[in-house]
Chain A
């Protein structure tokens, strides 16, 4: 099988963003995933989000590990550089990319196998480093690409297609990320693009590590009756926390102050994330409260989705390092090399 590029079709009626681009301009190669795979819906949401953000394609870098989910970086933004790395190691690659060029908008895509088993250490350390990266974890409870083994996110009691129950407790990336000090933690559902798109936009705008765990059913290996990662189960048990609106900095921010917007959070670039109808017992800027709230709903059997925690004040990797503002790839060589006179002088100390 060889990669298929989509034929360029002109759709004169499609709306254009500030760059004059349509959503089609943000598409990628033809997906080779199973028809109905949740991952394809996430791809569509990513396309919508970057189009709405007017993101210049060349400014983005798409990074992923290995898995059906990780393949999807080839299915959006064909005009952006993409890097399908090795299994579970996308966070290290992203850290290097961002270290080299802090102006790139890094979009990482991973799976639950990629992130929570082989790459768990890398995920934890990327969170700790607070590398500026949107990290989309396409979570289906199985290893899709190796044909359906349970992953570390499978719930206890969830059954495989052949009927075997999973016995080991799951690792919940959302709780893990909050515990580790992540500065942006959200959960979405591939079946709810309306909820997902503003979350992705906020995640892309967030300066630092933005984890977006997306329940993304694997129709081939984990969408049956006794699975807890199926479309049906997720629809039936989903508890949607305060929907958010993302108001980019280019818009009149004053509009954010309208009634029914109880909790606007201003992002580092001036954009605003506005939570609609947050319950009294929930504060998405309070780490401990957020954690407790998610746990409470989980114990009732609910899959909580929404933008769960956000901290816009934390320093990201480059702020901690104190790196210059311009990308390191753009610093002229003359400013990097001390030159022969400095070398001569330095060597006097080596005598």
Chain B
């Protein structure tokens, strides 16, 4: 009960997304923990798309590894869809046509419903028939899974209440699937839903919307962007929110300015310009955009300008797989741009943290006068997550950092933009438009503490050394890691980052229930803070789980803390789909076996020169 997963395979552009969202939301409204993963193509119409729903009474939300039920509505993917059903599972298919050979599987129960024929008879026109076929399979799922029909009907009424014609056809389609299922098969299936009361404190939201809310609440006024999947919806959400909350009621004028730039390079320049001027400014982008922004990132770092970048990571390198998820940009964010640079990076694991870290990013950017990156990913950003209700503390006020106004300038004899007072790593800045005494010249070329041009080794080094100290200081200000210790004395730990959280936590629970003492740490900020260093020091057998090929997080840990690499076994998954718990359990337990999903354990190490063989043989040494 309340512990199963199902998957719907359709063709994109046919309107199945709203039916899928309807089902997920209905389960959520029944008080049952649920998660949905949309696995979609980089295409507008006609290619395969899947929606995976996992129901789990205990609240596990990572992607399911196996499916109890598959709804196969796309002949092009029948074979692989059917292969993903667990033994003794169920297959729901459109029986308007004879059973396709690709769908045959002996150990699976077949549920055939002639959705196409039923909708062909009941509705007019190709488009309506196509759309209503989605609602019809939703109706069948209502019967098979014991979804509360009242809840579903209520949602349809909310959506189409003002459009009676649409309301009628939706109800009709829903009933077509429902009645057929009820009449032809024993309903519900052995695994199904039972009302709970576990979602009252939750909402359903995607990470991009949550991040946009964070920008709104943080007081960001300038947003610059260039459309790119999977970051686009962040700015679209911000725009929608601003139109709702930031338009002056009396005049209709806007308290925000969104600039759709000619490219990401320009978007970065706009953010830097606005940040220099004193606005909270941000840009959402993905890996290709980050590549284009490099020069401006270095400029902002060196000239000490606050700027917030959201990198909703997708599969790279290059264009990669734009609609699949990955954590492949860690290096390119942490050390973005040429010369000696290092940046603050925040790693949210879910929409709740997207919201909180967006706000935090603006505070850190202004306090440390430097670019701050929020490294989200497609899974977090675009999928609907069950997320704890967001809370806002009305006493919050933006941390504007050290900014001198007219009064402060009055009190000092000379303003030196790049000189930290009493050796402080952070130097005060001034904003244009305020006071002539605060004027200074910002340049990406060599400068001394007075912001004057310099080619003098000592004067240049003085400023650069302070920047290093500043970034060191930031390590103590970024969000601390989430650490979950088994008890005293475990020498084995598992480290992860960002959206891997749900799967790794679930894996840790498994491992512990199998009797393994294993500690858990999720890193949430870069530069790594003292808690991270301590955890590394306390464990000599570590697994580092991340979604990229090259074990980037592990390398960063080694580079930044000196932790020997051979004490950190990489557990890597980079095929582009959200992580599930099972392969992590397997990887940690066996330490060797590799699945073909792109999961690699220790394998990248063999290609590296020197050192010991690093494949883990067992957990305990």
Contacts and interface: CB of A to CB of B under 8 A. Distances in A.
B255 A331 contact: yes
A80 B459 CA distance: 24
B431 interface: yes
A25 to B, nearest CB: 9
Given A104-B433, A331-B221, A340-B391, A96 B281 contact: yes
A253 B296 CA distance: 45
A84 B452 contact: no
A350 B276 CA distance: 36
Given A61-B277, A322-B252, A328-B222, A79 B439 contact: yes
A136 interface: no
B270 A93 contact: yes
B234 to A, nearest CB: 16
A74 B453 contact: yes
Interface size class for chain A? 35 or more
A57 B436 contact: yes
A350 to B, nearest CB: 4
Interface string A154-182: 00000000000000000000000000000
A240 to B, nearest CB: 35
Interface string A68-108: 00000110001111111110010111111111110110000
A338 interface: yes
Given A340-B393, A343-B213, A99 B257 contact: yes
Contact of A323 (B205, B254, B272, B441): B254
A350 B351 CA distance: 12
Contacts of B393: 340
A88 to B, nearest CB: 9
Interface stretch (B11-19, B77-85, B260-268): B260-268
A125 B433 contact: no
A35 interface: no
Given A82-B442, A324-B251, A340-B392, A351 B203 contact: yes
B202 to A, nearest CB: 8
B408 interface: no
Interface in A32-47: none
Contact of B390 (A99, A100, A343): A343
A270 interface: no
Interface residues of B, number: 78
A336 B222 contact: no
A86 B455 contact: no
A320 to B, nearest CB: 10
A58 B432 CA distance: 7
Interface string A48-61: 00000000111111
A84 B444 contact: yes
Nearest to A333: B219
Interface in A304-332: 318, 321-325, 327-329, 331
Nearest to B278: A329
B248 A125 contact: no
A179 B243 CA distance: 33
Contacts, number: 233
A122 interface: yes
B430 to A, nearest CB: 7
A337 interface: yes
Nearest to B246: A336
A299 interface: no
A100 B279 contact: yes
A215 to B, nearest CB: 27
B239 to A, nearest CB: 11
B278 A86 contact: no
Given A96-B281, A97-B277, A100-B278, A86 B296 contact: yes
A89 B432 contact: no
B217 A343 contact: yes
Interface string B438-469: 11111111001000111110010000000000
B612 interface: no
Interface string A111-143: 000000000011011000100000000000000
Most buried by B among A2, A92, A346: A92
A91 B270 CA distance: 8
B269 A93 contact: yes
Given A82-B442, A92-B269, A336-B219, A328 B29 contact: no
Interface string B213-247: 10011110110100000000000000000000110
B266 A92 contact: yes
Contacts of A93: 269-270, 272-273, 276
Interface of A: 1-3, 5, 29, 56-61, 63, 73-74, 78-86, 89, 91-101, 103-104, 121-122, 124-125, 129, 318, 321-325, 327-329, 331, 333, 335-340, 342-343, 346-347, 350-351
17 contacts: A57-B436, A80-B432, A80-B439, A81-B440, A84-B444, A86-B444, A95-B266, A99-B259, A100-B273, A100-B277, A100-B279, A321-B254, A329-B279, A336-B221, A343-B213, A343-B391, A351-B203
Instruction: Report the 4 A-B pairs with minimum CB-CB distance, sorted nearest first.
Output: A96-B273, A92-B269, A100-B279, A81-B432
